[in-house]
Chain A
C-alpha cells in the first residue's frame, strides 16, 4: 500500500504541475481575494487605506475649531473640506462617494469650552455608511477627548500658577506682619513699663498719704479709748473688792453655822437624828481667784503695735502681656493660606488600550485576520478541487477502475491523494503567509515557525474533509455545490472571515466542532496575541482529531462506495 501511496503522490504532483487553473486557485486566487478583502474591509480594523472626505462647517472660527480641523487634516485617510452651508454639507454626504459624514462646529464652541461650559459638535451622517461613520466618530471622539483634556490641563496650569502667585504674596504678607508684630510688641512693652511705673508711683504716694492719716486718727482714738476704759475699770475694781470682802465674811459665817449645828445636835440628843440636814452653802471662789479679781487692771500699750503703713499693701501694677494667641492665629491663618493646596479641576476620563498579553499589539492590520482566514478558506476549496473532484474525475476517466484491476489497493490510492494534497495545502498556506508577510506586513508572532503546527493540522483536516465530500457527494456535479457550501460555511462559522465574537452564541457553539475555529484561534494567538509556541498544542491536537474523524468517515464511506 505504501508503494501505491507513494506512486499516487508522484502522479498527483504531475497532475498538479500540468493544471495551471488549480495552481491559480491555490495561490493567486487567495492572494487576490486577500488583497481585495484586506484593503476593502481594512476600515473594520481602523486601518483602511481609502481617503474619506469630511465636509466641515466652521461657525466657531475659534481655537477649538482650528484644533479639530488641524487634527483631522493630519489624519492620513481623511480629507477635510470646508463648506459654508449646512445644506451643501448634507448634499455632499448624501450624494458623494466616500463622504460618510459632515461636521458642523457651532458658534461659540471655543468660548464655551474656555469658560467651562459644555459644547457639542453636530454630525450629519449617512446611515447607509454606518461602519465608516462609526470609525470617523471614534476618531472624532478621540480628538474631542484630547482637546478637552488639553484645555483642562491648561486651565489647571493657570490655576496652579495663580495659586503660586497667591502663596508668594501671602508669604510676603506674613513676613511683613511678623516684623510689624515685633515692632508693636516692643512699643507696647515700653509703654507698658512706663504706665506701670507711673501708676505705681501715684498709687504709692496715695497709699502713703492715707497711711499717715490713718495712723494719726488711730492714735487719737486709741488714746481716747484707753482713757475711758481705765475710768470704767477703776469703778468696777472697787465693787469687786467689796464682793471679795463679802465672800470672806460669808465663809466665816459658814464655819460658825456648822459649829452651831453641832452644838444643836448634841443638845438634841436622841432627837438629833430627827434634825434635817442644813442647806449647803455655795462654794466660794478660791482665794487666788478672788485675789485676781482684786488685782488692778493694767491697760495695754499701743506703742508695741506695728506701724500702720506696713499694713498697707505695696502696689506694683503689672500690665498684662499681649496675648500671643492673637498673633499665633493670624500667623496660623496665613500659614494655612500658604499651605493650602490648589483646588484641582475634575480630570478627564480617557482610555488607554494595552494588549491583554505581554508583548502583544493593540492595533492589528486587517491582513492579520484575512491572510490566515482566506488562506484556510482556499485551503478547503483547494482540497475540494484536489481531492473530491479529482476522485470523481478519476472515476469518470476510468483510471480508478484500471488501477483497481491491477490490484492496487484503493486505500493506498486515496492516502496517496490525501498525502499529496496535504503537502500541497501545507506549501500553499506557507506561501500565503510568506506573501502576506512580504506584501502586507502581517505579524508572524514571536515564533513564526510555530505557525507550522496549525498549518499542518489544518491541511490534514482539510484533506480529510475533501475525502468526506467525495464520499458524500456521490456525483461529480454535486461536489461543487455541496463542497462549496460546506467549505464556505465552515470558514465563515469558524471565524475565517470575521472575528468569532461577531457570531451569536448558538453559532459559536457549533463553531467549536469545526477545525477552522481551532486553527483560527491558534493563528490569532500566535500572530496577534503573541502567545508562546506552546499555546498551539491543544488547538492543533483538536484539529488533528477532527481531521482523523473526517479521514475515518471519508475512507469508510468511499471504500464502501467503490466496493
Chain B
C-alpha cells in the first residue's frame, strides 16, 4: 500500500483492533502524503471511524503502529497532536457558544498564540462562509452551517494531517460544495487528508487515492480510475420508451447487449463497451420507430468496483459495527 514519493505525513502499519471477540480492523496499513486526499470508502460498519480514531490517537490499536511525520504517535502526543486536525462524523462543537467562540477555543487549544488565533479565526470563518454568523450561537445555525463550522474548527490551525469523518453527512448541496472545496483547498496548501465517506461520488470527485474497506480489511487501494477498472464494470444505459421492440432488436449493434428488460413494456437496460455507444443506441431506437421518453447513462464507478470486489453493495451496513462507531 505504501507509495514511493514524499515522506508520508500519516502512516498506519498493520493496525488491528478488536472489540471483545469481534475483529473490527484487521491489519490495515495506509499512508497519507502531504497535499494528498485519500478517500476511505466503505459501507457503514466497515471500520472507517475506527481507523480514523486510531489515526487520530484517541483509540489505541491492539497491534500495529501509527506514525505521524514518521514518529510513533504515542512518543510525543502533544506535539504530534497539533499536526492533526479531526473533523468527526458527529458535530464536535459547543452549542451555546457562538461560531467565533468555538473556533477561537479550538484554535487556542491547538497552540495558536492569541494574535495568530484571531487571524486564523477570521480567515477560516470567512472560508466556510460563516463570517456574517460568527457571533450567533451555534445552536441557532442550520445543519449545513454547523457542518461547515465543524470543519472550520478542525482546520483553523492548518493541520498537516486532516482526518475527515463523513464530513458532509446530512448537509445541503451548497454546504457540501463548500466543504468539498475547502477540503480541496486544504490539500492544495499541503495538508495530507484522509476523507472517510460512504458517498462514492464525493470520493471520485476529490480523492487522489481511494482505500476500499470492508469488514475491517482493506480490499483495494489506488487511484479512482484504477479501482473502477479493477472492478471490471462497463457503461450501462437505462431507457424508458413507448413503442414495440422485437426480441433481437440489438442484433445490428456490435458490443451492446440488453441486460434487463420489461418484455416490451417501456423499460430496458443495455450494457455497452464504451460510453460513446450511447448515440448509436439512441439512433437505433429511433430507426425502429420507438419513442424514447427518458434515458440514463450509468458509467462504472467505485460502487461497482466495491460490489465486484466484495460481493456487497457500498450501501450495505453492519449494524453492530455502525452502532459501536
Interface residues of A (CB under 8 A from B): 4, 7, 10-11, 14-15, 18-19, 397-399, 401-409, 563
Whether B141 is near chain A, meaning CB under 8 Å from some CB there, is no
The yes or no answer to B105 lying at the interface (CB within 8 A) is yes
User: Contacting B78 at CB < 8 Å: which of A14, A15, A19, A409?
Assistant: A409
Across-interface contacts of A401 in B (CB, < 8 A) = 58, 86, 88, 92
Q: How far does the alpha carbon of A381 sit from the alpha carbon of B143 in the complex, in Å?
A: 33
Residue contact A399 to B94, C-beta cutoff 8 Å: yes
**B108, CB-defined interface residue at 8 Å:** yes
The answer to whether the Cβ of B153 comes within 8 Å of any Cβ in the partner chain is yes
Question: Could you give, for residues 63-82 of chain B, a 1 whenever the CB lies within 8 Å of some chain A CB and a 0 otherwise?
Answer: 00000000000000111111
Interface centre among B60, B93, B96, B101 (most CB of A within 10 A): B96
Contact of A405 among B56, B60, B96, B108 (CB under 8 A): B56
B96 adjacent to A407 (CB under 8 Å): no
Q: Point out the residues of chain A lying under 8 angstroms from B91, CB to CB.
A: 397-398
| B88-A408 in contact (CB<8A) | no
Residues of B within 8 Å of A11, CB to CB, are 94, 97, 105
Q: Are A399 and B92 in contact, with the CB atoms below 8 A?
A: yes
> Which chain A positions have C-beta within 8 A of B101?
14
Q: When chains A and B are docked, how far (Å) is the Cα of A11 from the Cα of B82?
A: 19
Docked pose: A14 CA to B99 CA in angstroms: 13
Quick check: A18 and B90 within 8 Å, CB to CB? no
- Are A408 and B57 CB-contacts (below 8 A) given A15-B94, A15-B97, A401-B88? no
Say whether A407 contacts B78, CB under 8 Å.
yes
Excluding A11-B97, A402-B106, 13 further A-B contacts by CB distance (< 8 Å) are A7-B108, A10-B105, A15-B97, A18-B97, A397-B91, A397-B94, A399-B94, A401-B92, A404-B58, A405-B56, A405-B57, A405-B163, A407-B84
Answer whether residue B223 sits at the interface, using C-beta atoms and an 8 A cutoff. no
* In the complex, B288 has a CB within 8 A of chain A: no
Contacts of B110 in A (CB 8 A): 406
Interface flag for B42 (CB, 8 Å): no
Asked if B58 contacts A399 (CB within 8 A), the reply is: no
A402 → chain B, closest Cβ, in Å?
Answer: 4
Residue of B nearest to A19 (CB): B96
Q: Given B90, B93, B95, B109, which contacts A406 in the complex, CB threshold below 8 Å?
A: B109
Contacts of A407 in B (CB 8 A): 77-82, 84
B233 at the binding interface (Cβ < 8 Å):
no
Q: List 15 A-B contacts (CB under 8 A).
A: A7-B108, A11-B105, A397-B93, A398-B92, A401-B86, A401-B92, A403-B109, A404-B57, A404-B81, A405-B58, A406-B84, A406-B110, A406-B157, A407-B81, A563-B60
The answer to whether A397 and B81 touch (CB under 8 A), given A14-B101, A404-B58, A405-B56, is no
Contact among B57, B77, B86 with A402 in the assembled complex (CB-CB below 8 Å):
B86
Tell whether, in the assembled complex, residue A15 and residue B56 are in contact, meaning their CB atoms are under 8 Å apart. no
Closest CB in chain A relative to B76 CB, distance in Å: 8
CA distance A409 to B60 in the complex (A): 16
Chain A: minimal CB distance from B165 (Å): 10
Q: What's the nearest-Cβ distance from chain A to residue B1, in Å? A: 23
Tell me if B27 counts as interface (CB < 8 A to partner A).
no
- Please determine whether B137 and A408 come into contact, CB atoms closer than 8 angstroms: no
Does B34 belong to the interface (CB within 8 Å)?
A: no
Given known contacts A4-B109, A401-B86, A405-B56, A18 and B137 CB-to-CB distance under 8 angstroms: yes
Interface residues on B, range: 20 to 34
Indicate whether B154 reaches chain A with its CB closer than 8 angstroms.
Answer: yes
Q: Which of B48-65 contact A (CB under 8 A)?
A: 56-58, 60
Number of A-B contacts (CB under 8 A): 76
The proximity string for B residues 152-166 relative to A, scoring 1 for CB distances below 8 Å and 0 otherwise, is 011001000001000
Which residue of B is nearest A20, CB measured? B96
In the bound complex, residues from chain B placing their C-beta under 8 Å from that of A7 are 105, 108-109
- Of B80, B97, B137, the most chain A CB neighbours within 10 A belong to B97
Q: Across the interface, which residues of B come within 8 angstroms of A19, CB to CB?
A: 96
Q: Is the CB of B58 within 8 A of A397?
A: no
Which of chain B's residues has its CB closest to A409's CB? B78
Closest to A407 in B: B81
Listed residue (A401, A402, A563) with the most chain B CB atoms within 10 angstroms of its CB: A402
| The one of A18, A402, A406, A409 that contacts B96, using a Cβ cutoff of 8 Å | A18
Contact of A398 among B84, B85, B90 (CB under 8 A): B90
Q: Which residues of A contact B108 (CB under 8 A)?
A: 7
Nearest-Cβ distance from residue A392 to partner chain B, whole angstroms: 14
The interface residues of chain B lying within 8 Å CB-to-CB of A397 are: 91-95
Residues of chain B within 8 A of A408, CB atoms compared: 78, 81, 109
For the complex formed, measure the closest distance between the CB of A250 and the CB atoms of chain B, giving whole angstroms. 183
Nearest-neighbor residue (CB-CB) of A7 within chain B: B108
Chain A: which residue is nearest B91 at the CB level? A398
- Closest chain-B Cβ to A502's Cβ sits at a distance in Å of 41
Q: Do the beta carbons of A405 and B81 come within 8 Å of each other? A: yes
Contact B84 A405 (CB under 8 A): yes
Chain B residue with minimal CB distance to A390?
A: B94
CA distance A4 to B95 in the complex (A): 20
Question: Are A398's CB and B88's CB within 8 A?
Answer: yes
CA distance A401 to B85 in the complex (A): 11
> Given A398-B88, A405-B84, A406-B82: A14 and B95 within 8 A (CB)?
no
For B84, give the chain A residue with the smallest CB separation.
A405
Q: What is the minimal beta-carbon distance from B252 to any residue of chain A, in angstroms? A: 60
Chain B residues numbered 8-38 whose CB sits less than 8 Å from any CB in chain A: none
CB distance from B92 to the nearest CB of A (A): 3
Complex: how many Å from CA A398 to CA B154?
12
* A409 CB → nearest B CB, Å: 7
Which chain B positions have C-beta within 8 A of A399? Answer: 92-94
Chain B residues whose CB sits within 8 angstroms of the CB of A404 once the complex forms: 57-58, 81
Q: Measured between alpha carbons, how far is A409 from B77 in the docked complex, in Å?
A: 9
Contact residue among A406, A409, A563 (Cβ-Cβ distance under 8 Å from B106): A406
Which of chain B's residues 257-291 have a Cβ closer than 8 Å to chain A? none
Residues of the B chain whose Cβ atoms lie less than 8 Å from the Cβ of A406: 81-82, 84-86, 106, 109-111, 157
Binary interface encoding of chain B residues 87-123 relative to chain A, with 1 for a CB under 8 A from any of its CBs, else 0? 0101111111100010001101111000000000000
Please give, as numbers and ranges, the residues of chain A lying within 8 Å of B163 by CB-CB distance. Answer: 405
With both beta carbons as reference points, the residue of chain B lying nearest to A404 in the complex is identified as: B58
B81 engages A402 (CB within 8 Å): no
Partner of A14, one of B79, B84, B97, B154: B97
Known contacts A397-B91, A397-B93; is-contact A405 B80 (Cβ 8 Å): no
For residue B94, which residues in chain A have a CB less than 8 angstroms away from its CB? Answer: 11, 15, 397, 399
B109 contacts across to A, CB distance below 8 A: 4, 7, 403, 406, 408
Complex: chain B residue closest to A6, CB-CB: B108
Which residue of chain A lies nearest to B76 when distances are taken between CB atoms in the complex? A407
Compute how far the CA of A408 lies from the CA of B77 in the bound complex, rounded to whole angstroms. Answer: 9
Chain A hits for B97, CB < 8 A = 11, 14-15, 18
List the A side residues contacting B78 at CB < 8 Å.
407-409
* Distance of A401 Cα from B81 Cα, bound (Å): 12
Residue of A nearest to B110 (CB): A406
Whole-angstrom distance between the Cβ of A6 and the nearest chain B Cβ: 9
